[in-house]
Amino acid sequence: MSSRHRARRSEGDRVARAEQKQNTRRALLDAALRLLAHQSFDSLSLREVTREVGIVPTAFYRHFSTMEELGLVLVDESFRTMRRLVRAVREEPLPQDQLIRRSVQAFTAYVRAHRSYFQFVARERFGGVDAIRGAIRNEIRLFVSELATDLARLPPLEAWSTQDLQMLASLIVGAMTSVVEQLVDLPSRSADAEADIIRVAERQLRLIVLGVPHFRGARREAEPPASLGDGLDAEP
């Protein structure tokens, strides 16, 4: 158990010191992420993390000076991971009629594959540790802005103002956030429930998109859309 780490390797088993240090650092981050599946960050102790890795508590300080520092690295890794996803979706050719379906599929597959990161971010986004909550919200703000920029390239949104694109992007991110909440709480192998969640998410996005051509200010130069009369609300 405590022999999982570097300790006292015999010859032939030698590992460069720097490499071993990286391995232990990685093990600390992974152990924390694993433990955070069942507790909040500010109740996670340094001793729990080192115990999980199989090293002595004081060894922690060779890698991080506080738990908060470790937590901020996890935030950074989480969003690096998420940006990779968005870049992949963005660089694919865009089959307009399948955009929503493909994006939701890519997103949910990604959440499944990186579940513990998403769970961590979802939880600590409202968590009790100021520095970590702040870092997450900052990343989400950046993420919404990037999505807004991507959306600007789609033909139906060409004429939209930056402000309205942000509004739309944050609505989409909000909807996806609640998808994440549902997905990370699912027992690992319940494909049916997952399919339901995905279907609802697709419909929500589709509903949003259907409102786009009719949105006030969306096409300032064109005549107003025809079928607005039976809407629920009007611009004051």
Partner DNA sequence: TGTACATCAGTGAACGCGCGTTCACTGATGTAC
Q: What number of chain residues touch DNA (CB under 7 A)?
A: 32
The type of residue at 19 is: E
Cβ contact 16:2 at 8 Å: no
Two structure tokens written together for 215: 């949105």
Nearest residue (CB) to a copy of itself, 52 versus 59: 52
- CA torsion, ordered 90, 98, 156, 154, to nearest 10 deg: 10
Under 8 Å between Cβ of 172 and 99: no
In this complex, which beta carbon is closest to DNA, that of residue 25 or of residue 214?
A: 25
Judge contact between 43 and 132, C-beta under 8 A.
Answer: no
**Could you say which residues in the range 108-127 bind DNA, by CB under 7 A?**
none
| Residue 167 binds: one of DNA, a copy of itself, none (C-beta under 5 to 8 A by kind) | a copy of itself
39 touching DNA, by CB under 7 A = no
**Which of a copy of itself, DNA, none sits in contact with 86, Cβ below 5 to 8 A by type?**
none
Q: Is residue 15 within 8 Å of 9, Cβ to Cβ?
A: yes
Q: Find which of DNA, a copy of itself, none residue 158 binds, CB within 5 to 8 Å per kind.
A: none
Contact positions toward DNA, by CB under 7 A?
2, 5-9, 13-18, 20-21, 23-24, 45-48, 51, 55-63, 66-67
